[in-house]
Amino acid sequence: MAEPPTAGRGLVLTAKDVAKAYAGRPVLRGVSLELRAGERLALTGPSGSGKSTLLNCLGGVDRPDSGSICFKNQALELMDADGLTEVRRRDIGTIFQFFHLLPTLTAAENVELPLQLNGVARAERTDRVRSLLERVGVAGRSQALPGELSGGEMQRVAIARALAHAPAVLLADEPTGNLDSRNGAIILDLLQELSDETGTALLLVTHSGAATHICHREIHLRDGLISGVRKADTD
């Protein structure tokens, strides 16, 4: 695993005793964690253990039944739906297993969208989109529609989109789950480099052991409870 972030850097995200049930069946049963700026945290566990549910609560698209989540010292449970959306727009980048690029927008336009939503001026947007696409290695495909890209290329564009507005946290739910191992490795390297470069915290839900290697810490979930925490071990 990689080096842990230098101590003393600020807390970005904290969860305390987060619990959630669906139709009376508990999915999360009191989960607490902390994420610091620049830190990369892996969230592992068997299928159905509640990883995605936890990630959704942390990202403000779902609400826990109890417990508290603080994002940069703001309690998410105190915000209304629009407030949560605003946080998502400004401070969170999301990467999905199925890429979720907008099919009618070109690669460049997909990356540009978060900047537009945040009201960034056009000239700045163009520059930033170009440099991001170059950085993730798909500058040559900037005018292609998602349907014309390969899975690996799509996920690179999705990473560029997630980082476009320089969010404080990047949430990724099995970003390599739909890619072959070679492309998966490339994506993981990219995530590692970019979070180092930008200081963006990364919360990575994953099955693969390879993915945990790029993280500073690993939290293991089982039946909605944290069943183990692993600090980065030196390679």
Query: Which residues in this chain contact ligand ADP in the complex, by CB under 6 A?
Result: 22, 27, 45, 47-53
Please tell me what DSSP assigns to residue 104. Answer: T
Q: Which of residues 52 and 208 has its CB atom nearest to Mg ion in the complex?
A: 52
- Least Å from the CB of residue 98 to other proteins: 5
CA–CA dist 39, 201 (Å, integer): 5
Question: Which of positions 34-53 make contact with Mg ion (CB under 5 A)?
Answer: 52
Nearest-approach distance from CB 52 to Mg ion, in angstroms: 3
Smallest distance from the beta carbon of 136 to ligand ADP, in angstroms? 26
Q: If binding is defined by CB under 8 A, does position 88 make contact with other proteins?
A: yes
Burial (0-12, 13-18, 19+ Cβ within 10 Å), 97:
middle
- Tell me, what DSSP letter sits at residue 17? E
Nearest to 211 by CA among 171, 184, 230, 233: 184
What does R_g of the chain's alpha carbons equal in angstroms?
A: 17
Residues at the contact surface with other proteins, assessed by CB under 8 A: 52, 55-56, 59, 61-62, 81-83, 85-86, 88-90, 92, 94, 96-98, 100-105, 109, 113-114, 116-117, 119, 161, 173, 178
